[in-house]
Amino acid sequence: MTDYFTNPVFGKTSPSLSVLIPFFKDDASGLISDLAAQNCSKPFEVILVDDGSKQDDLTKRLQTLMADLPVEVCLVTLAENEGRASARNHLQQSARSDWLLFLDADMRPADSNFLESYLEEISRNEADIIFGGFNVEGQSQDKDGALHRALSAVSDCLPLPQRQAAGPQYVASSNLCLRKAVIEKNPFDKGFIGWGWEDSEWAARVSKKYKLIHIDNPALHLGLESADTLLQRFRTSGANYVRFTEKHPELAKTLTLYRLSKALKKTPGQKLGRPLLKWIVKSKAPMRARLMALKLWRASWYADAIK
C-alpha cells in the first residue's frame, strides 16, 4: 500500500522544478524548511518518499510541518522498504515538472540561491544532467563523524575542474538535477540491493547518451556516519560493486579501487589483515592512516566479491 499526503497548496501551480527527496528513517524536516526559505523566482514542488520507515511519529512530524509551508509539498509513504533505486524511481513518477532535482534527506542547500542557480542553468538549455557537487561542514565536536568528514573531503568534495575532468565518475544522486525524460527512459537499476553504487552505475550509463555537466552549486552533507557504519557499508556492498563493474568494465578498470581489489584478490592470506585494518579505522591513529586502512578494508571485501 502507498499513502499520499499533500499540503493545502499542493497542485495549485505548474512547477518549474520538482525537488525529490527519498529517505529511510531520516527526518527531512530541516531540509524542506530550508527549501521553503529559498530565494526562488519560479514555482517549485517538493516530493518526499518514505521508503518504508514505519515510524508513525516521523510521519506525523513531517505532516505537521508540511501543512504550514507556503510551497507545494507531497509525502509518499511506501508500506515496505524497496531500496534506494526503487524509491528514486517512485519519486520521478510522482513529479509534475520536466526537470527534477534529487536531494538526500541529510543534505542542506549551501546558500539561499541554491534552487535559483539550478533554474538559471536549466534556462540555458545546454545540458540534460547537472551535478552541483557537495561539501561537508568544517571541524566540529562530532567525533563519530570525523572519519566520514575526512573521507568525503578527499573523495567526494572535489573542486569543479576535477569533477568536470572525470565526467560521470563523481556524480551522485545526493544533489543531482536532470530532465525527467532522462530517468523515464533510464530508471535506476533496482538490482542494486542495500547501500551503494546504484547512482554511479546510473551516471555511467546515461552519460553515454545525454549531455552531463558539472557546476559549482553544492549542497551541504550533514549526515556523516560513524566509523562502525562505514565499516559495515563497505563490508556488505561488494555485490553492488561487482554489478557496477560488470555493467561498466572499461570504466571500472580506470578506477584505483578496482585495481586494488584485483591485486588483493591475488594476494594469499589478505583476509587475515582485516582485524588490524578495522582496529586502525576505529583507533586514534592519524587520520591519514585511518583513511588508508578504511580504503584497504573496502578493497579487501570487494576482492572477495570480484570474479
Q: What is the DSSP string of 109-130?
A: ESSTTHHHHHHHHHHHT--SEE
The rounded distance, in Å, linking the Cα atoms of 198 and 295 is 19
| pLDDT recorded at residue 3 | 87
> What is the enclosing helix (H) or strand (E) of 244?
helix 238-247
300: which 3 cell numbers? 579487501
13: which 3 cell numbers? 501551480
Domain that holds residue 278: 226-307
Q: What is the mean pLDDT of each run of 10 residues along the chain (307 residues)?
A: 86 94 93 95 95 92 94 92 83 92 94 96 96 82 82 89 91 94 93 90 95 96 92 96 95 93 95 97 96 97 93
| pLDDT recorded at residue 1 | 55
| pLDDT recorded at residue 153 | 87
Residues 52 and 175 placed together within one structural domain of the fold: yes
Q: Judge contact between 280 and 290, C-beta under 8 A.
A: yes
Torsion of CA 171, 240, 250, 170, to 10 degrees: 10
Residues 102 and 117 placed together within one structural domain of the fold: yes
* DSSP label at residue 226: P
Q: Which of 177, 201, 225 is the last residue of a domain?
A: 225
Residues 249 and 217 placed together within one structural domain of the fold: no
Could you tell me which residues come within 8 angstroms of residue 272 by beta carbon, excluding any fewer than 6 positions away?
none
Mutual angle of helices 287-305 and 227-236, in 10-degree steps: 20
- pTM equals 0.92
Please name the amino acid found at residue 265: K
The rounded distance, in Å, linking the Cα atoms of 198 and 173 is 9
The rounded distance, in Å, linking the Cα atoms of 156 and 239 is 22
Residues 120 and 258 placed together within one structural domain of the fold: no
The rounded distance, in Å, linking the Cα atoms of 80 and 1 is 8
Residues 17 and 60 placed together within one structural domain of the fold: yes
- β-strands 107-109, 219-221: how paired? antiparallel
Residues 204 and 257 placed together within one structural domain of the fold: no
Q: Judge contact between 74 and 45, C-beta under 8 A.
A: yes
The rounded distance, in Å, linking the Cα atoms of 110 and 107 is 9
Q: Which of 181, 200, 225 is the last residue of a domain?
A: 225
CATH number assigned to the domain comprising residue 25: 3.90.550.10
Residues 99 and 237 placed together within one structural domain of the fold: no
Residues 196 and 60 placed together within one structural domain of the fold: yes
Residues 120 and 148 placed together within one structural domain of the fold: yes
Count: domains in the chain: 2
Residues 266 and 163 placed together within one structural domain of the fold: no
Residues 217 and 235 placed together within one structural domain of the fold: no
Residues 211 and 269 placed together within one structural domain of the fold: no
Q: Which of 225, 253, 278 is the last residue of a domain?
A: 225
